[in-house]
Structure 1
């Protein structure tokens, strides 16, 4: 009875804090303002509460089917400790940067107590299960990325996505190496392991190679490359030349070619994300199973790690392809 009561108290506290965090994000315009609507009867942000419960249910189901409760608890603990460390860091930082704010409550032993708490949280987080730290770190990176995207301009978002794609390529490359050398694959379907190894993994490798090219084009767009070669090779297409400033008017055929090439690149990125999500569904439906014997990682945990990284990489490609598609169509509409 005591255990049940303490569990309900902990759940109530966790749910309340999660609702408050999401509501604060909506209030500060990091997510939709619709989430700030409060129920008149209960004085509670109902939509925020519903979304929080749905997310909790999804993570619980993922824990049941792809990992164990202890492993999920380690991930949740890691995220909580990192979050608490950042709260204490913010308390110290805001006291120094925003001295003009009214502070009716005086924190005892400030700033030493927040610094001590922050240090202990970071130290305790390092003593958790290494796999939980790894996955918790991925979730942390996703959160930081979302924050940077919400405060950045469009050019910075493109560069951020390019950096994330580089990270995704490196991690996927390591996973493919582990699968090839330190793991065993099995499937209830005859011959499917061979198909996965010889076909699906090679497609994934091709996607990684193709993504390297998209990273280069994110940093230096295709149209800028064409302009560069026109300045060097075909100077007749330079319409106006004023000192170091030049205006280049492309022929319609070249402009259309650049447009369609960019559309194809966007479509391939989005198609690659669909392929990656199909791979995730193969693991989720137990059509293919992984046993990483090198690290002693079990089948369910290995699949959990592999799926998490695949979803992360697929999400990046989907967002990057959609953003590229939008920019390309916008550029054409403006006639640039």
Structure 2
């Protein structure tokens, strides 16, 4: 286990020495494991892959396919599958989850992983596209809650938007393992912000994950997040409660079923984290809460993990510097296990 932490103080959250030790007792529902086992078992009754068709592009060094897979309740979810052109051998696969309000975008928007030699699946966020990026997957569910994705169906864990989104994220791994040209034994979950929260959920729910790369994760230590920042998406939940004061108990209960700290405790894959210490969107302490308890259910020191911090950066984190660290770390991890 390696930790790369400069001696610095976060301007928006706890001091770095406190962040290193921050491991809150996050509320964990007694039926947490049963809830997710039941949800995922129901989803698995439908074969994961629905449709895979070549996507014409102007890119000569990669091949792209338009993928549809069965997510929550068997509903179709869209994704782009990209891999280096003219490479016949099965490759490790990176499943990437975009951030809040983004979709899968257009083919060729995210080329880092295929250019680095990986098979790459970038997954649509159902019902979220149009804020910051394009997507094609609706969320055909309606339940009491607020108008934003973070508050949609929030009065019950059964109807919450993130129950569906987490299920889609897990099913994406099932789908990528069935795609041609993928080494199904070496699948990696990657995400930033909301995508980081979804990747953490995958690490806690999916067996035989090869590695996890997560930056600035959303949905970690959520109860603290909604109290600490006014920025969206946490701020959307706070603003909902500012109007619906009587809903606080129900909302807090729902959030406890999707907290990344609880998923992180159950994870077993080696993990690489990155956090900007001036992040006022996903406060640093909430990400450290997941990092400091990552793999705790496994006992001893848990799986290998690293944290990289950027003391003068916010939600953007280390950007290209951090991506370079991710590439080098993942290459070393897969070489050691493959």
TM-score computed with the length of structure 2 as normaliser: 0.27
Decide which structure has the larger Cα Rg and report it. Answer: 1
Higher strand share: 2
Higher helix share: 1
TM-score computed with the length of structure 1 as normaliser: 0.27
